[in-house]
Chains A and B, each alone.
Chain A
Amino acid sequence: MRAISRRGFLELAGVGATTAVIGPLHASAASKSLTVLHESSFIPPFDEYIKTTLAEAYEKETGVKVVYEVTAVGSLPTRISTIAETDTGADITMNGLLQVIQFGEKYLDVTDLCKEIGDKNGGWYDAGREAVLVDGEWKAVPFCNIGQLMNWRTDWFAEVGVKTFPQTWEELYEVGKKLKANDHPFGFELGHGFGDNHGWLYPLLWSYGGAEVASDGKTVVIDSNETARAVDFARKFFRDTMFEDVLGWTDVSNNKAWMAEQISCTNNAESILWFAKKNFPEIAKVTDQAQNPAGPRGRFHLLDSISHSIFNFSPVKEEAVAFMRWLMDPKQLGGWYAVADSYYQPLLHGYDNAPMWQVEPRNIPYRDAMTTAHLPGWPAPASRQMAESVAKYIVVDMFAKACAGASTKDVIKNAELQLKEIYRAV
Chain B
Amino acid sequence: MVTGYGPVERLVRLWLPVGFFLVLALFPFYWMAITSLKPNSELYNRHVMPLVLHHPTLKHYIDLLTQTSFLTWTWNTMLVAVVSTAISLVLGVMLAYPLARMRFAGAGLIAMTVAAIYLVPQPLLFIPLADVINRLGLGNTLTAVILTYPTMLVPFCAWLLLGYFKTVPMELEEAARIDGASRLQTMRRIFLPLCTPGFISAGIFAFTLSQNEFLYALIFLTKSSVRTVPVGVIAELIRGDVFYWGQLMAGALLGSIPVALIYSFFVEHYVAGLTSGSVKG
Contact = CB atoms under 8 A, between A and B. Distances in A.
A40 B237 CA distance: 10
B242 A275 contact: yes
A82 B234 contact: no
Contacts of A260: 44-46
Contacts of B268: none
B181 interface: no
Given A25-B138, A42-B240, A72-B231, A18 B219 contact: no
A72 B241 contact: no
A280 B44 contact: yes
Contact of A89 (B83, B126, B138, B139): B139
B222 A71 contact: yes
Nearest to A15: B136
Given A15-B136, A82-B127, A271 B241 contact: yes
Interface stretch (B110-118, B141-149, B251-259): B141-149
13 contacts: A15-B147, A25-B143, A44-B239, A73-B239, A78-B218, A79-B219, A86-B131, A252-B243, A255-B241, A259-B44, A271-B240, A271-B241, A280-B44
A72 B138 contact: no
Interface of A: 15, 18-19, 22-26, 28, 37, 40-44, 69-75, 78-79, 81-82, 85-86, 88-89, 193, 195-196, 251-252, 254-256, 259-262, 268-269, 271, 275, 279-280
B186 interface: no
Interface in B15-58: 40-41, 44-46
Contacts, number: 114
A184 to B, nearest CB: 13
Taking residues whose C-beta sits less than 8 angstroms from the other chain, chain B's interface range is 35 or more
A19 B138 CA distance: 9
A281 B46 CA distance: 18
Given A70-B235, A73-B234, A269 B241 contact: yes
Contacts of A252: 241-243
DSSP majority for the B interface?
A: helix
A42 B239 contact: yes
Given A70-B222, A88-B139, 19 more contacts: A26-B139, A40-B235, A42-B242, A69-B222, A71-B222, A71-B235, A72-B218, A72-B234, A73-B235, A78-B219, A79-B218, A82-B126, A88-B134, A193-B241, A251-B241, A252-B241, A260-B46, A269-B240, A280-B44
A69 B223 contact: yes
Find the residue from A41, A44, A86, A256 having the highest chain B CB count within 10 A: A86
Contact of B242 (A82, A89, A255, A262): A255
B127 A22 contact: no
Given A40-B236, A70-B224, A271-B240, A75 B141 contact: no
A181 B64 CA distance: 41
A26 B239 contact: no
Contacts of A251: 240-241
B242 A280 contact: no
B137 interface: yes
Nearest to B134: A88
B147 A26 contact: no
Contacts of B215: 78
A268 B136 contact: no
Contact of B238 (A18, A19, A72, A89): A72
A72 B218 CA distance: 8
Which 8 residue pairs spanning A and B have beta carbons closest together? A42-B240, A251-B241, A72-B235, A259-B44, A88-B134, A69-B222, A86-B131, A72-B234
Nearest to A67: B223
Contacts of A40: 235-236, 239
A86 B130 contact: yes
A188 to B, nearest CB: 14
A14 B189 CA distance: 27
Contacts of A193: 241
Contacts of A262: 46
B211 interface: no
Contacts of A86: 127, 130-131, 134
A81 B124 CA distance: 13
A18 B143 contact: yes
Contacts of B142: 22-23
Contacts of B138: 19, 25-26
Interface in B213-271: 215, 218-219, 222-224, 231, 234-236, 238-243
